[in-house]
Structure 1
Amino acid sequence: MEDDAIGAMLRDYRDGGDGYEIVERDDGWIGISAGGEYYFSGPEEWPEIERRAIDHVEGRVLDVGCGAGRHALALQGRGHDVTAIDVSPGAVEVAEDRGVEDARVVDVADVAEAFDPGSFDTILMLGNNFGLVGTAETAPERLRDLAEVATEDATLIAQSRDPVVTDDEHHRAYHEKNRERGRLPGALRMRVRYEVHASDWFDYLMAAPDTMEELVADTPWDLSETIEPDEQVTDPGGDYVGIVRTNG
């Protein structure tokens, strides 16, 4: 990111316990994030589906889009060898300061150049970070690159959400606009803002389980199962975690 808005927010939250980033979509919609507290939370504060998902982690881990390192730190505490990556230099700095042992500034699009083949047993994309595959067009290449740095029996733990599970008229209008221009309904063009900082515009994808299954179909991965909120959760909001395994 040319202007590291998320990094600036995480540094401020680390230093003063305050900070919220703003998400700006290309249709003009503005949303406020969950705030710095979300990025610094411990497992006891995570959504239930994330706590269940990390029980599927095995061996050496690549944490994609690590933020302030909340997942990496929890997995290090369980004895895993974790490499945490993020496109934000500020996020990597904060993750290192919090104790992440191996944090690097790496874009998910560059993982095949950054790591040796077969380096990781688990690829982690929690916090809705399956969205970092970008678009329907870029997703297969990024998924193949992740498979290249994974072992032959690796697991990809990918959190996303069904974008159409909403009553928000602005979101529904955006989904329809996407369909009209040949894009998936959950294809977002967005940037992150914080105080005077604004990131470059980037693509981010919200994918329902059947969409995730379609996106991995022409790659070395297969969607094995999904982890969805307990039935007693009153407002699941379409969130889920896909457990995706190598098929070779």
Structure 2
Amino acid sequence: MTDGDPYGRAIRDHYLGEREEPLIDRDGEEIREHAIEEWYFGEHNKDAWRDSWLEGPLLDMGAGVGRDTLYYQEQFEAVAIEVSEYLVETMRDRGVKDARQVDMFSLRNHFNRDQFQSAQAIGTQVGLAGSIAGVRQFLNDLAFVTTADATALLDNYAPEKEATKDIFAYRDDPMPGLAYRVYHEEYAGAVGETLLFQIFSVDRLREATVGTDWEVVDAKYGDVQWRAILRKA
């Protein structure tokens, strides 16, 4: 494992009871302490609306330490992927049956055509596609590894909501329905790479599905975020 992954190492150390420093998110002079216990080690939040759209085999993308996968694998086959080797090791220690080190933006390189019945990416990771064109490419790759009648659950911040402007590392965009987040993470003297998250509205997500096999069939809003269900058209 490498110290080039302060994010994953901090969460791994927390799990092992060896973390003595906070994981810091930094945007210039603005910093935020990453709430590791709260964000990663809580119980799966049961949601009848969400769960009704998911069935196995399920691909859990950006699965963290497996909070959701641990729940779903008791219902059906579930594969958890993370780009961090530290997080994959932690998922395996916590009992995730099938945890793999895979970048969610390189799905075709790791999975077969039609391998999954449903997929989810909870935690706004889809924003790491960096642009609407990047989201469209991701959706095409996701279509390749899912069945003809598959469903997918995605979430992101809602740039059209005024309260969203107060989230950490927010950057406005003059184009309606778009914004950004830009920050990096620091832990125990190590500095992670700069992360660029594209924030986009559900309407922009609908635009991103044009030319893909997906359509947005349902969406729910929170205070600053949305969750959307996509289904093969």
Shorter-chain TM band:
0.7 to 0.9
Higher fraction of helix: 1
Aligned position for 1:226: 219
Deviation at 1:217, TM superposition (A): 2.2
Between the aligned partners of 1:83 and 1:172, the Cα distance in structure 2 is 30
Q: Distance in 2 between matches of 1:133 and 1:149?
A: 18
Matched, 1:72 2:69: yes
Question: Does residue 1:187 correspond to 2:180, yes or no?
Answer: yes
How far residue 105 of structure 1 moved from its aligned partner, in angstroms, is 0.8
Give the equivalent residue in structure 2 for 1:90. Answer: 86
- Whole-angstrom CA distance in 1 between matches of 2:107 and 2:91: 19
8 Å CA contact retained: 1:123, 1:156: yes
RMSD of Structure 2 on Structure 1 (CA): 2.7
Q: Report the identity percentage.
A: 26
Q: Residue deviations 1:57-78, cap 9 Å, x none? A: 1120111001100111010122
Alignment pair present for 1:22 and 2:24: yes
* Partner Cα distance (2:24, 2:208) in 1: 29
After superposition, give the CA deviation of every residue in 1:169-207 in whole Å (9 maximum; x if it has no partner).
67699543x33xx79732233322223232212322222
Question: Equivalent residue for 1:231?
Answer: none
Aligned to 2:114: 118
**What is the DSSP-based 3-state SS (H/G/I as helix, E as strand, rest coil) of the residue aligned with 1:99?**
coil
State the aligned residue count.
231
Q: How does 1:1-248 map to 2 (within 5 A)?
A: 3-16=4-17, 20-25=22-27, 29-43=30-44, 46=45, 52-78=49-75, 80-167=76-163, 175-176=171-172, 178-179=173-174, 185-228=178-221, 236-247=222-233
State the alpha-carbon separation in 1 of the partners of residues 169 and 100 from structure 2. 38
The 8 Å contact of residues 160 and 206 in structure 1, kept in 2 or not, is answered as yes
TM-score normalised according to structure 2 size = 0.86
Deviation, structure 1 residue 160: 1.5
Q: Which amino acid aligns with 2:43?
A: G
Alpha-carbon distance in 1 for matches of 2:192, 2:230: 30
2:66 and 2:141 map into 1 onto residues whose CA distance is: 22
Q: 1:220 to 1:24 in 2, by over 3 A?
A: farther
Contact 1:166 1:237 in 2 (8 A): no
Structure 2 residue ranges without an equivalent (≥5): none
Larger strand proportion of the pair: 2
Aligned mates of 2:122, 2:65 — CA distance in 1:
13
Match of 1:140, SS state, is helix
TM-score, normalised with respect to structure 1: 0.82
Query: How far has the Cα of 1:142 moved from its partner?
Result: 1.2
Asked whether the 8 Å contact 2:61–2:120 carries over to 1, the reply is: yes
- Counterparts of 1:63 and 1:200, CA distance in 2: 23
